[in-house]
Each structure stands twice: as C-alpha cells, then as structure tokens.
Amino acid sequence: MIFALAGFILFLVVMAQLLHRRGSQSAAFSRKILHIGAISVSAASVYLVPDRDALLLITGLAIPVLGILVWKGFFRDPIRGRRSWGIFYFAVVFGLLLWFFRESRPELIFYPMLVLALADGLAALIGEWAGKGSYNLSGDARTVVGSAVFFVSAFGCLWFGHFAFAEIGQRPFSGFPMTLLVAGFLTLVESTSRKGRDNIWIPLFLVYWMFLAPNIAMGDLEILASMILPALASWMALRMGWLRADGAVAALLLGWLTLVSPSPQWVIPALVFFVLGSILSKLPPRSGTSSSRNAIQVLANGGVPVLFLCVYFQTGITAFLVGSVSGFGAALSDTASSEIGSRLRHHTYDIVRWRAVPSGLSGGISWSGTLTGLGFAVVMAFVVVAIQGVWNTGLFAVVIVAGFAGNLIDSLLGSLVQAKYLGPDLGKWSDDPVNQNDEPQRGVKWITNDVVNLLAVFFACLLGFLIYKAL
C-alpha cells in the first residue's frame, strides 16, 4: 500500500510538470491538482498504511529532496515565477505531525492534512476560475469566492471527515458553533498567509484547536458570542481608523485565540492594551501620517503575549500566564512612553549615548515619557490583579518589573541596533528612510521599529515567566 500511494504521488508530480510546459494557466491548474491529490493521499495514509514508522521514514527522506528541488527551481509559482516552497512546508509539517502523533492521535494528522488538501486546493482552483472580487491583505491576492470556498470546504472536512474511516470516531469538534469558529479562523489564516506559508499555519492552528477544544467549558451561545464580539470590535476599530484592514484581521484572530479558551477573562489585558494604546495614539496634536496599525504592528505587540497565553491554556502552567500579561504590560508601557513623551516634547536623550535627539526617535527617552511608561506598567499590574480577584503582591511586582523592563529594552535596542537614517535636513536622524532603497547610517536595515517592539515584548514575556518561576 505504501508503495502504491508513493507511486500515485509521483505520477501527479510528473503530470504537473508536463502540464507546466503548456503555459501558465495549465501550470497553475496542475499545481493545485498536485496539491489536492498529494496531500489527500498523505491524510489518508495514516489510516491506510499499518506501518506508520515506515511512513515517517519515507517522509523524512522526501523532505531534503523536496527542499533541493524547490531551491533548484523545479517547483515554481507559474504566475509570479518565484520558487514555490509550499510543497516543502507541507512535507515538513506532515513529518512533524507523524513524529508526534502517528501512534497516539492519528486524527491530529488526518484532519489538518485533509483541510489543507481540499479547502486550500479547491479555494485556489475555484477562486482562480471565478477571478472576480479580489482583495489583498498580505501581498498575495485572494478572491472573495476563493475564501468562501475555503470556509465551506474546511467546515465540510471538519463536520463530515469522520465518515472517511471508522477508526476516526467522532468529529474533532462536537458542536456546530465551534466547528464554525475553527473554519472561519482557518479561512482568515489562509487569507493573510503568503508565499505558501499557509501550508504551515493551517495544519498547526488546527492541531491547536483540536487539542484545546475538550478543555473549553463554553456553551454554544457563548462560543457564538465569542465569535461575534471580537468581529464587531475589529470592524469598529477599522471604521474608527485604529486599524487597517490587515490589522483588523490580525486583531480578530488574536481575539478569538484569547476569548475562546478555558479562561476567557484573560482577554482583558489584551483589550486594555489595545483600547488605551489606540486612544493614546489619537491624542492631539497628531502627526500628518496615519497611526492606524497594520497586521505586522498588531502581531509585533500582541503576538508573543498571545502565544504565551495559548501555551498556558494548553498546559495550565501559571508562569506562562504571567509571561503573557508581562508582555502586554511592556507593550502598553512602551506605547504610553512614546505617545505621551513625544507630545509633551521635553528634552529627549539617546538612552545609550546620552545625546539630545529629536522627540519620538527610537532609542530616545525623556523623564516625562519614562515616568508615563512606568505608570502604565502599574496600570496593567492593577488590571491583572483585579482579574485574579485576590491581592497578590508577587504577581503585581512581577508585571511592573517585567513590563517596565521591556519598555527600557525597547529603547536600548532602538538606540543600538535599529536602523537609523539621516533626513533631508543634514544631521537630523530619523527611523524611516527618505527613499525605499536608502541604506541606514546606523543600525541594521531589517531591524525596524516593529522588530524592536517584537523583541522587547518577547523579553518582557520571558522575564516575567522566569521571575515568577523563581519566586
């Protein structure tokens, strides 16, 4: 059986290459047929092949081969002409799932591969055929029809997939609302992924939800409300100019991850950061540039704290929860320092070189901004203790220390490694280049303000985690 399945996949690869020679449209069609066929076979193989160790061995051998073939240009996007790494990503994720779940939980391999095969493949096929109503959230265009097909197909795989093999048993999600939520979540993940990385994120996020679902003690109406409320909040933030379209989608995904959980009350620190940070950014006087956050900015500030929170939901280890709220404390503290400090326009100095710098420049600090940052770290600490319902001096202190330390690390990184450019006025430093191809006079070009925010928030999460573990 294993050789028959491998032969079928090889046949699809050969056919895809033959069609590729006939032009870009045939190539695009053949790639999706290969995608659907190969990944569907991989999904079924965990029940069709008795020796799953042999399946793991073959996958392990195939991964480096596929990597070399993609690198050599054997698999290319027929429309954009770039290397197509999706098939390599799929093989790596399939291998990882086989390694961890081939004996204990084969359904954690079957469902992610089935959704990736059918929902993603059919969405691309039908979306390209329809060809109307396109949108772009990530740099790779999608169609409204394609996303609708993905949602319906994903829901169908999750609701009816257990009929494929008797060994599967029950549906991965017992209730209709939970299945609806996960299908919608995966649809948004697919719509915001680029360069084939949906082959990574779709399976991994589905595994996450399948693990978490049994621990979510929420009724169907509560799950529906938890779907609708973040969607409304993201839409309102978009309308008010707090978020751009891609930022609203990123915020919605983070909102669902925090709210649909065993402990939905821990969405409050994220909500406090988002609301207060957005209000602070809109205080007068405002600059002429838009302060609406995009997806990268949303994830740079909230992605790591939500990741720590998700680990807490899965493991129940309190230190991960403390790390999460410390990260939100750092994000709020840094935002407050920047927004209030730049508006008060007190003397600003580079935190390392201690030279006067323009107000608002990364790496610059002022007494007003620093004290404001400390004050808002205290605010987040009060919020966390209030959610817990009992006074906890240790927790209160950890959130303040880790949150404010993250703020200071942000300034240190901003001074030492963030890219700096000379503006049109000679000697005036700026965080942004005048022209897109300008090289920085200081720092590293790819280390932008968003990268610095991400690293600083990660530092705060890790520091809060380690301090709480040491107490």
Predicted confidence band of residue 2 (pLDDT cuts 50, 70, 90): low
CA pair distance 192, 198, nearest whole angstrom: 8
The secondary structure of the chain, three-state, reads: CHHHHHHHHHHHHHHHHHHHCCCHHHHHHHHHHHHHHHHHHHHHHHHHCCCHHHHHHHHHHHHHHHHHHHHCCCCECCCCCCECCHHHHHHHHHHHHHHHHCCCCCHHHHHHHHHHHHHHHHHHHHHHHHCCCEECCCCCCEEHHHHHHHHHHHHHHHHHHHHCCHHHCCCCCCCHHHHHHHHHHHHHHHHHCCCCCHHHHHHHHHHHHHHHHHHCCCCHHHHHHHHHHHHHHHHHHHHCCCECHHHHHHHHHHHHHHHCCCCHHHHHHHHHHHHHHHHHHCCCCCCCCCCCECHHHHHHHHHHHHHHHHHHHHHCCHHHHHHHHHHHHHHHHHHHHHHHHHHHCCCCEECCCCCECCCCCCCEECHHHHHHHHHHHHHHHHHHHHHHCCCCHHHHHHHHHHHHHHHHHHHHHHHHCECEEECCCCCCEECCCCCCCCCCCECECCCCHHHHHHHHHHHHHHHHHHHHHHC
Tell me the per-residue pLDDT of 398-426, one tens digit each, with 9 for 90 and over.
999 999 999 999 999 988 888 877 766 54
The per-residue pLDDT for range 92-108, each reduced to its tens digit, is 999 999 999 988 899 99
Q: Residues 163-191: what's their mean pLDDT?
A: 93
| Mean pLDDT of the residues in the chain | 86
pLDDT of residue 25: 47
Tokens of 19: 């069609």
Using a pLDDT cut of 70, give the percent of the chain over it: 87
- Percent pLDDT > 90 in the chain is 51
What pLDDT shows up at residue 77? 65
